[in-house]
Amino acid sequence: MEVPRLDHTLNSPTSPCEEVIKNLSLEAIQLCDRDGNKSQDSGIAEMEELPVPHNIKISNITCDSFKISWEMDSKSKDRITHYFIDLNKKENKNSNKFKHKDVPTKLVAKAVPLPMTVRGHWFLSPRTEYTVAVQTASKQVDGDYVVSEWSEIIEFCTADYSKVHLTQLLEKAEVIAGRMLKFSVFYRNQHKEYFDYIREHHGNAMQPSVKDNSGSHGSPISGKLEGIFFSCSTEFNTGKPPQDSPYGRYRFEIAAEKLYNPNTNLYFGDFYCMYTAYHYVILVIAPVGSPGDEFCKLRLPQLNSKDNKFLTCTEEDGVLVYHHAQDVILEVIYTDPVDLSLGTVAEITGHQLMSLSTANAKKDPSCKTCNISVGR
């Protein structure tokens, strides 16, 4: 069905304050709160009986849209001209941090056949819990409204980025990836105690763990995908891994072909920055048919391992050759356990640069390079 136009977005958490105030009309401001209270100069007429929405249902939820429907008694139904939708982030439902406190948190939509689609990246964010209530209204000839009582309040949570959204991020990342540099090893830095624990408690095998919440808020791998983080960046002048690391002074190195080969699939996971000039790209390597591969196949864009802008594996004279993008920092997640006997562990000679750590790092929502036109 056709998506109805929302007449005004009021008190949206992410919309620019000045723009909201500039575009508000008297019609939009003259609303009452969920308890039906009105200010003395309200343009809403005394309540007449209009059907109260009940049995509200939310469906077709995406990261920046949802469909809403409800049931109504047939009495006076033909008098309804508008719907008032009160949408709030759950954690802020009892407080209003918007600096213009007189602006109500309402969406005003013309009455259309249900279900109705509510869409807008400026007031809906991915992976966020919201509360919603609905009111029916009848606009009078003098511009006043007759309104029903508010419906019950229900809760729902928006979805992660879809493959379509991730493909948009992928295309933005490709623009700045830069030229490809040759590399031969993946590496993982940790403290000495980490490797001692792996040897003693996990039979020498590093185990996948759930990815933290760093990166894009809508990334479907955050808090869900299990894997082991590796790096592959090299220094331009030496072609070898840098001697500094934010994650620890001990480094596990493994030949690239042990993790990335024709028996693995490569997926794009995320693209973000942390209020810095340099950007990060998260890639996932999953053995074909593994649980990690099945997880990614449903949620992430798959890349051609021989031909992509970030991490390639090609064959030359019977030997696998590897290249990585120069102008982005690659974070590679491998989804299966990795035995330490497949590589070497040694202490690095450089420094531990904690300022470069991305653990639970939040993405800069204002960066035009790595954001797309959906919730951040």
Q: What is the CATH number of the domain that holds 126?
A: 2.60.40.10
**Mean pLDDT, residues 326-340:** 97
**Mean pLDDT, residues 359-375:** 79
What are the pLDDT digits (tens) for 169-223?
Answer: 999 999 999 999 999 999 999 999 999 999 999 999 999 999 998 899 899 999 9
Question: Do 322 and 214 fall within a single domain?
Answer: yes
What are the pLDDT digits (tens) for 88-137?
Answer: 888 654 444 433 333 345 788 899 999 999 988 667 889 889 999 999 99
Beta strand segments in 326-376, E: 329-334, 338-339, 344-347
What pTM does this model have? 0.79
Total count of domains within the chain: 2
**Mean pLDDT, residues 224-228:** 97
CA dihedral for 5, 53, 124, 284, sign (positive or negative)? negative
- Band (pLDDT 50/70/90 cuts) for residue 46 is very low
Residue 252 lies inside a defined structural domain of this protein: yes
Given this model, what pLDDT does residue 121 score? Answer: 66
Q: What is the mean pLDDT of the chain?
A: 83
Question: Do 243 and 196 fall within a single domain?
Answer: yes
Domain that holds residue 188: 163-347
What are the pLDDT digits (tens) for 31-43?
Answer: 445 554 543 434 4
* 116 close to 4: Cβ distance less than 8 angstroms: yes
Residue 47 lies inside a defined structural domain of this protein: no
- Band (pLDDT 50/70/90 cuts) for residue 328 is very high
Residue 78 lies inside a defined structural domain of this protein: yes
Question: Do 145 and 184 fall within a single domain?
Answer: no
Question: Do 144 and 223 fall within a single domain?
Answer: no
The answer for residues whose C-beta is within 8 angstroms of residue 327's C-beta and 6 or more apart is: 176, 177, 178, 179
Question: Do 149 and 298 fall within a single domain?
Answer: no
Question: Do 183 and 310 fall within a single domain?
Answer: yes
The alpha helices in the chain, defined as continuous H runs, are 17-23, 26-29, 163-176, 192-201, 256-259, 291-299
201, with CB counted inside 10 A (0-12, 13-18, 19+), is exposed
